[in-house]
């Protein structure tokens, strides 16, 4: 039975919990002061941390503890860190769990063994032990002459007062699994109390946790607030008209309540940053005024925190780093009035308030608080927010910890506090990689999937070879950037349709075998097979199974009955479950669909938004629009609406033609060709143009290499798909071309477009609505200018190529490394 206690309750240990104390509850027995053997009275220091798998809130505390004791040795249940810069390059001494099966991904499943594991760490050679504990670290065995100081982020919350909430959210309220879980938690509580007696001095990360420590262990504790890197956040005085919340999307964070509240306030705008298991539930509650941005890098989070009028926080946190970070940007906070927020936010009872509280975790309470905030009854000054945040800086934490340990252990001579260093942005140097990748694609045409794959393989540091199942412009583009290409004969797959109605004949089967042999031959020299499209995935998966090479599928489809037939879905399902090592989805919509179909575990799936280079667009920035129109034979002074994709019914070009009937002063420009046996649809489009005498207002440009020039030649870029689009590359390109974008409200588009801010959304297939939006854009130049400005910022900050390529390459490297370790 799988018992992922912490993961099921709080997500991937990305909690941010930290310190507190007032000395031990009982006066220790007087004893002779121990003689310290190191020169100048310096103690031998060991630092114990629960587990080292990521860099989150608890690890920020650990980083500053190490700064205070730079010569200390590190101990942990497991250490699977890749970036260990915050440990100053140190490696931890680990327990036997480090070598157990699947420990790297499923270490939390071994929680019942962790009390035993932590007790096996030998600390007998140290004078001062500092544990950083939210689970088991404080349980290390120490002797009577050793001083053990435990910085407690929280007693094991899911074993104590939050047990019932954890069991309910984990569906463990009844049955044998529930009984087993309750027995384990009972055992953990008994062990937790017993081991508290071996701690000489407790530190809590807040008064809230100090009360929890006293309740559980009957011990007092010194409060030292956890460190926040306040220096990385810049004060901004000018705020904009939107609210922000940011968090990992797990149940106790209550992001769904915030989204539900703003769904009932359509006049208020909310931006949500973060990702996690609750993403689908939260996205389902979002209304047009709520933008779900998903995971974002620091610079995007920072920018949103600076600009937001207020930060909304609904969790009962032990501390709550994000609340302090928002105030460091000069942004006031609207928070649930319980837990650590009561200590980090100053309400109206203070002379210089930095936020306000709501009394219950309900949508209505959040609505009431936002209404009160909007009323202006309280005045919040950005400078006051910043000043309050500075109470929690790294330097304050180090000084408090150093002073406290000096007071409680005067027999030790501690190293001096480190001098605060100026932050210097490191110069990034590209290091070579010995990763060998075989990239496989079914097409020779340059569609969106191929363009996105091209961006990856041409920028990857390792050695990349490519196999295509058809010849064409894609092969030429790959060779132009120095990628080795082999073209196999894939004509036998040309008639395979997504609806699965094509019956396999002997010629098709023999063709598949030829493709398999060719791919298999190339795969033997690769560390990982990177497959880019659905048909290529099937061939690549079988080749990987035979050659014992891991296969990563870059999923660029929504694998649902709307897009695929039952046979195709069955093939996708079982190939994914049995033959693929990892899946990269290009949007949350694609990820949700493949998860629903295959029940793929979270650790085997990543969402990586496509990255699109701005260079082709900036290269022609100075070219006048009339020159570009002349290049493509387009009318100089007409209002041109562009549609950029292959000609296919589900892409919805007919919707734009129907809208054109209601927009007599506009022209439509279609860039793209019928690529996959969709010539009949192209004929229908041309027949419609002829029937309605639109020939002078409709321009079919066919396939074009220079998409940037085509887009800059039009006035508006439309995306007209009548089915959910897996991503929507053309939308990003439209934003980069500095043209307003109108897109269908479905699928991956929702990851890109914020309606009314960086683009406009319309109902899929609704020609009348599309016509109204186009007329509105034509008559409203300020609206066009605003959409262009925000769209460009959105495209360059969120969908750049560097982050995209680095993310894909990191996944491929991780998969190859796991495969090598398995032998």
Compute the distance between CA of residue 304 and CA of residue 326 in angstroms, rounded to an integer: 9
Judge if 546 and 682 occupy the same domain: no
Count the helix, strand and coil residues of the chain and give each as a percent rounded to the nearest 5: 45, 15, 40
* Residue 419, pLDDT score: 60
**What tokens appear for 353 in the block?**
């308030």
Instruction: Give me the long-range contacts of 137-146 (CB less than 8 A, separation at least 24).
Output: 137/48, 137/49, 137/50, 137/76, 138/48, 138/195, 138/196, 138/198, 138/199, 139/115, 139/191, 139/192, 139/195, 139/198, 140/48, 140/75, 140/198, 141/198, 142/198, 144/31, 145/31, 145/34
In a domain, 127, yes or no: yes
CATH number at residue 239: 3.40.50.2000
User: What is the tens place of the pLDDT at every residue in 457-485?
Assistant: 988 888 899 999 988 888 888 888 888 89
In a domain, 400, yes or no: no
Compute the distance between CA of residue 622 and CA of residue 808 in angstroms, rounded to an integer: 33
Judge if 518 and 657 occupy the same domain: no
**Total domains present in the chain:** 4
Helix (H, G, I), strand (E, B) or coil at 132: strand
Residue 708 phi, psi (nearest 5) = -60, -45
Cα–Cα distances in angstroms (integers) from residue 465 to residues 489, 519, 608, 807, in the given order: 17, 11, 22, 19
In a domain, 215, yes or no: yes
- Structural domain boundaries enclosing 313: 230-392
Decide if 721 contacts 650 (C-beta within 8 A): yes
Q: What is the DSSP pairing of strand 528-531 with strand 484-487?
A: unpaired
Judge if 692 and 770 occupy the same domain: yes
Compute the distance between CA of residue 221 and CA of residue 200 in angstroms, rounded to an integer: 10
Element (H, E) at 147: strand 147-152
* Residue 601, pLDDT score: 87
Judge if 242 and 203 occupy the same domain: no
Judge if 114 and 258 occupy the same domain: no
pTM of structure: 0.49
Judge if 219 and 249 occupy the same domain: no
CATH number at residue 26: 3.40.50
**What tokens appear for 409 in the block?**
């252990």
Judge if 215 and 274 occupy the same domain: no
* Residue 694, pLDDT score: 96
In a domain, 508, yes or no: yes
In a domain, 819, yes or no: no
Boundary (domain end) residue, out of 572, 607, 642: 607
* Residue 773, pLDDT score: 96
Boundary (domain end) residue, out of 164, 190, 223: 223
CB atoms under 10 Å from CB of 378, counted, come to 13
In a domain, 99, yes or no: yes
**What tokens appear for 141 in the block?**
């065995």
**What tokens appear for 140 in the block?**
């290390």
Judge if 633 and 759 occupy the same domain: yes
Below-50 pLDDT ranges, the chain? 1-37, 421-430, 494, 497-500
Helix (H, G, I), strand (E, B) or coil at 55: coil
Judge if 594 and 447 occupy the same domain: yes
In a domain, 822, yes or no: no
Compute the distance between CA of residue 543 and CA of residue 524 in angstroms, rounded to an integer: 9
CB atoms under 10 Å from CB of 13, counted, come to 20
Three-state secondary structure readout of 417-459: CCCCCCCCCCCCCCCCCCCEEEEEECCCCCCHHHHHHHHHHHH
Residue 292 phi, psi (nearest 5) = -95, 105
Judge if 619 and 600 occupy the same domain: no
Residue 516 phi, psi (nearest 5) = -65, -45
Decide if 52 contacts 86 (C-beta within 8 A): no
CB atoms under 10 Å from CB of 483, counted, come to 17
In a domain, 118, yes or no: yes
Cα 355 from chain centroid (whole Å): 28
Judge if 71 and 133 occupy the same domain: yes
Compute the distance between CA of residue 415 and CA of residue 494 in angstroms, rounded to an integer: 71
* Residue 380, pLDDT score: 95
**What tokens appear for 37 in the block?**
């053997």
Compute the distance between CA of residue 203 and CA of residue 318 in angstroms, rounded to an integer: 13
Boundary (domain end) residue, out of 392, 427, 461: 392
Judge if 191 and 303 occupy the same domain: no
């Amino acid at each position: 039975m799988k018992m992922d206690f912490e993961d099921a309750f709080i997500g991937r240990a990305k909690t941010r919990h930290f310190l507190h104390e007032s000395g031990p509850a009982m006066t220790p027995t007087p004893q002779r002061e121990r003689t310290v053997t190191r020169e100048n009275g310096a103690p031998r220091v060991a630092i114990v941390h629960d587990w080292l798998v990521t860099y989150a809130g608890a690890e920020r505390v650990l980083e500053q503890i190490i700064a205070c004791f730079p010569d200390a040795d590190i101990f942990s249940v497991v250490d699977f860190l890749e970036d260990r810069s915050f440990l100053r390059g140190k490696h931890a001494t680990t327990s036997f769990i480090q070598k157990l099966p699947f420990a790297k991904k499923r270490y939390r499943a071994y929680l019942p063994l962790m009390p035993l594991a932590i007790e096996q760490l030998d600390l007998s050679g140290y004078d001062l032990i500092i544990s950083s504990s939210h689970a088991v670290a404080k349980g290390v065995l120490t002797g009577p002459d050793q001083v053990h100081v435990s910085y407690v982020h929280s007693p094991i919350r899911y074993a104590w007062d939050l047990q019932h909430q954890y069991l309910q959210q984990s569906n463990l309220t009844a049955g044998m699994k529930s009984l087993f879980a309750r027995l384990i938690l009972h055992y953990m509580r008994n062990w937790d109390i017993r081991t508290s007696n071996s701690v000489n001095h407790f530190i809590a990360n807040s008064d809230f946790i100090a009360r929890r420590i006293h309740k559980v262990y009957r011990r007092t504790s010194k409060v030292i607030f956890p460190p926040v890197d306040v220096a990385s956040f810049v004060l901004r005085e000018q705020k904009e008209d939107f609210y922000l919340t940011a968090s990992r999307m797990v149940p106790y964070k209550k992001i769904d309540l915030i989204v539900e509240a703003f769904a009932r306030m359509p006049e208020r705008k909310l931006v949500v940053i973060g990702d996690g298991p609750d993403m689908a539930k939260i996205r389902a509650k979002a209304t047009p005024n709520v933008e779900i941005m998903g995971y974002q890098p620091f610079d995007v989070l920072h920018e949103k925190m600076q600009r937001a009028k207020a930060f909304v926080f609904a969790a009962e946190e032990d501390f709550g780093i994000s609340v302090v970070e928002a105030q460091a940007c000069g942004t006031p906070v609207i928070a649930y009035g319980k837990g650590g927020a009561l200590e980090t936010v100053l309400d109206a009872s203070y002379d210089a308030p930095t936020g306000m509280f709501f009394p219950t975790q309900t949508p209505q309470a959040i609505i009431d608080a936002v209404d009160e905030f909007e009323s202006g009854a309280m005045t919040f000054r950005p400078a006051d927010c910043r000043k309050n945040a500075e109470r929690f800086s790294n330097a304050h934490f180090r000084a408090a910890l150093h002073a406290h340990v000096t007071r409680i252990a005067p027999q030790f001579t501690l190293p001096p506090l480190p001098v605060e260093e100026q932050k210097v942005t490191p110069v990034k140097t590209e290091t070579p990689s010995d990763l060998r990748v075989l990239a496989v694609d079914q097409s020779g045409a340059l569609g969106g999937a191929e363009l996105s794959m091209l961006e990856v393989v041409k920028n990857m540091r390792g050695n990349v070879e490519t196999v295509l199942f058809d010849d064409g412009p894609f092969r030429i583009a790959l060779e132009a950037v120095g990628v080795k290409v082999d073209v196999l004969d894939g004509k036998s797959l040309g008639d395979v349709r997504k609806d699965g109605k094509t019956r396999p004949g002997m010629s098709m089967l023999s063709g598949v075998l030829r493709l398999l042999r060719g791919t298999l031959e190339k795969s033997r020299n690769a560390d990982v097979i990177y497959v880019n499209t659905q048909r290529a995935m099937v061939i690549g998966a079988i080749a990987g199974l035979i050659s014992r090479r891991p296969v990563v599928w870059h999923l660029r489809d929504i694998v649902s009955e709307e897009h695929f037939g039952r046979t195709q879905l069955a093939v996708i399902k079982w190939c994914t479950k049995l033959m693929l090592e990892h899946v990269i989805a290009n949007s949350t919509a694609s990820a949700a669909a493949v998860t629903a179909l295959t029940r793929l575990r979270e650790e085997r799936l990543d969402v990586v938004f496509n990255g699109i280079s701005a260079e082709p667009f900036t290269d022609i920035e100075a070219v006048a629009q009339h020159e570009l129109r002349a290049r493509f034979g387009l009318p100089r002074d007409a209002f041109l609406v562009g549609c950029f994709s292959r000609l296919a019914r589900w892409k919805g070009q007919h919707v734009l033609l129907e809208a054109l009937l209601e927009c007599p002063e506009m022209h439509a420009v279609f860039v793209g060709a019928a690529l996959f046996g969709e010539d009949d649809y192209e004929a229908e489009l041309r027949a419609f143009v002829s029937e309605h005498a639109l020939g002078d207002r409709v321009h079919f440009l066919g396939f074009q290499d220079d998409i940037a020039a085509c887009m800059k030649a039009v006035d508006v870029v439309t995306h007209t798909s009548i089915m959910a689009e897996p991503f929507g590359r053309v939308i990003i390109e439209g934003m980069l071309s500095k043209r307003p974008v109108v897109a269908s409200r479905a699928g991956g588009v929702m990851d890109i477009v914020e309606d009314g801010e960086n683009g406009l959304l319309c109902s899929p297939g609704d020609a009348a609505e599309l016509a109204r939006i186009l007329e509105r854009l034509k008559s409203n130049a300020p609206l066009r200018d605003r959409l262009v400005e925000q769209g460009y910022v959105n495209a360059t900050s969120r969908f750049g190529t560097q982050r995209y390529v680095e993310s894909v390459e990191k996944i491929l490297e991780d998969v190859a490394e796991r495969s090598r370790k398995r032998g």
